[in-house]
Amino acid sequence: MKRIEALKRCHRLWWLSVVAVHWSTMVHLAVWTPVPGLLPGAAAGMRRMVDRERALAAEWSGITVEATPSAPIGQEKESRGLLARYRWLFGDAQRFREWRWTTMYSFVGGLIACVPGALVLFGLWGLFLAAFGPYLARDAGWDGLWYMFVPVRNLPTALMAGLLGLVVAKTGLWLAPGTVDRHARFVRATLAPSEQELMAARIAHLAATRSDAVDTSAAELRRIERDLHDGAQARLVAMGMTLDAAEHRLAEDPEAVRVLLAEARASSVAALQELRDLVRGIHPPVLADRGLADAVRSLALLSPLEAEVTVDLDGRPDAPVESAVYFAVAEAVTNAAKHGDAERLWIDIGYDTARSALRVSVTDDGRGGADPARGSGLTGIERRLATFDGVLAVNSPAGGPTQISLEVPCALSSPKTTSC
């Protein structure tokens, strides 16, 4: 049964090579046709097809084919001239590999994928000749029926053709699983970027995330400065003025001084509360004391939604990772309550030991429609997680539900201290 399934996969890969030829033709026509938007559209279809090849290689053979980021399709002025369109197509390394695959290597990939199916069909032709060859040669007047080196004219030659056909068909079935893996390795060899490109992409990613981290830190410092200036500092200044007035009226009006002292005490209490709120916004004490699990549980208790938290952690991530994930979850919970019209919330926290990654999912029963591309708070979550090579996945169809999944590579370095 596995070989039959592998044979089906070979047929599917062969069909994808035919589709690749189609997209290659479309891209070439788009290069020679100065119609605005035509070349980016053809390149987008070519990329979808190539991404499908990568996905099948990972799904069927466990072979990951990496890709470097390329310039966004549709933002270039590709209609200025023939040479400009060729530079647009070939100037990006990733796009050039995709074009090369669809134009040339898809033929080789198709030949690799079609071998098992062709052998099985040829074997079935031998079995057909074994069953009907003598009748066709004698009654229908088909002269010159040959199967490989066997002339099919009578029963003995028909049996020989049938045996050969059976061997050929079995050979095709036997080759099918290995052919799928060979095709995946061929895809990786032709579509994977070089080490230099991967290093350059990694450096660009680190530069971008470092810039985001610096911008975020600067914005956080400005927020702290603004909150201190407009909140606690103003209250402390008012308290000083009140105490100064009380000092001047101490001898002549003790009753008024008592009122002023009570006002100063209220100002000090309010200033202290604002300082506590400010510190909690920077790094919640429960996060530092008890870890991510209890901090998220505390967050769920304060949420207006009916929340359920499930935790499966055998240790604690590093403090910066804990902080980033906590505030990402806080943003997701706030969005669900503020924008999602949700009533219930499910938060799952776990650790994938195989990938050495912390995984968190926040699911609500709201109206859906969340999209990071619209510049919402989800974009801020993406930028916060990107500093740690984390990723954000959003599944939010119209009508709900919304599931926000986070994955951050990290190690669990210290024992568990939560109150599970």
- Tens-place pLDDT, residues 29-81: 777 777 766 777 777 778 888 888 888 888 888 888 877 665 554 444 444 66
- The answer to whether residue 330 scores a pLDDT higher than 80 is yes
- The answer to whether residue 235 scores a pLDDT higher than 80 is no
Q: What percent of the chain has pLDDT over 70?
A: 75
Tell me the two tokens of residue 416: 């568990």
Task: Considering only CA atoms, give the Rg of the chain.
Answer: 34
The tally of CA atoms less than 13 A away on the side-chain side of residue 43 is 27
Structure confidence at residue 312 as a pLDDT band (50, 70, 90)? confident
Q: Where are the alpha helices (DSSP H) in 101-194?
A: 106-138, 155-191
The confidence score (pLDDT) of residue 138 equals 67
CA-to-CA separations, 137 to 126, 129, 131, 142, 344, in angstroms, rounded: 15, 10, 12, 5, 76
In contact, 388 and 325? CB cutoff 8 Å: no
In contact, 357 and 313? CB cutoff 8 Å: no
DSSP label of 36: T
For residues 87 and 81, give the distance between their C-alpha atoms in angstroms, rounded to a whole number.
10
Which residues face 363 on adjacent strands?
346, 403
The pTM (predicted TM-score) of the whole model is 0.54
- With vertex at residue 36, the alpha carbon angle to CA 34 and CA 38, rounded to the nearest 5 degrees, is 85
Tell me the two tokens of residue 337: 């309550």
Which residues face 414 on adjacent strands?
316
CA 128 distance to own-chain centroid? 49
**Which has the closest alpha carbon to 394: 383, 409, 406?**
406
The confidence score (pLDDT) of residue 134 equals 76
CA trace torsion 240, 244, 246, 249 (10° rounding): -170
For residues 373 and 396, give the distance between their C-alpha atoms in angstroms, rounded to a whole number.
13
Domain 290-409: which CATH class?
alpha beta
**Which has the closest alpha carbon to 110: 175, 48, 19?**
19
For helices 38-61 and 2-32, angle between their N-to-C axes, nearest 10 degrees: 160
* Chain position carrying tokens 């984390």: 390
Element (H, E) at 74: none
The confidence score (pLDDT) of residue 420 equals 44
The confidence score (pLDDT) of residue 391 equals 82
- With vertex at residue 411, the alpha carbon angle to CA 406 and CA 414, rounded to the nearest 5 degrees, is 115
3-state helix/strand/coil string of 261-304: HHHHHHHHHHHHHHHHHHHHHHCCHHHHHHCHHHHHHHHHHHCC
For residues 356 and 314, give the distance between their C-alpha atoms in angstroms, rounded to a whole number.
12
For residues 128 and 44, give the distance between their C-alpha atoms in angstroms, rounded to a whole number.
45
Per DSSP, the three-state class of 394 is: strand
- The answer to whether residue 282 scores a pLDDT higher than 60 is no
Pairing of strands 344-352, 357-364: antiparallel
Average pLDDT over residues 227-254: 69
pLDDT digits (tens, 9 = 90+) for 171-194: 988 988 888 888 888 888 888 877
- With vertex at residue 137, the alpha carbon angle to CA 134 and CA 142, rounded to the nearest 5 degrees, is 150
Q: Between residues 248 and 172, which one has the greater pLDDT? A: 172
In contact, 192 and 57? CB cutoff 8 Å: no
Q: Which of 60-64, 150-154, 354-358 has the lowest mean pLDDT?
A: 150-154
**Which has the closest alpha carbon to 388: 328, 346, 332?**
328
In contact, 413 and 316? CB cutoff 8 Å: yes
For residues 112 and 138, give the distance between their C-alpha atoms in angstroms, rounded to a whole number.
38
pLDDT digits (tens, 9 = 90+) for 388-406: 778 888 887 877 788 888 8
Range from 50-64, 92-106, 237-251, 404-418 that averages highest in pLDDT: 50-64
Single-letter code of the amino acid located at 300: A
Q: What percent of the chain has pLDDT over 90?
A: 0
Output phi, psi for 335, to 5 deg.
-60, -40
CA 12 distance to own-chain centroid? 25
The confidence score (pLDDT) of residue 79 equals 47
The confidence score (pLDDT) of residue 76 equals 45
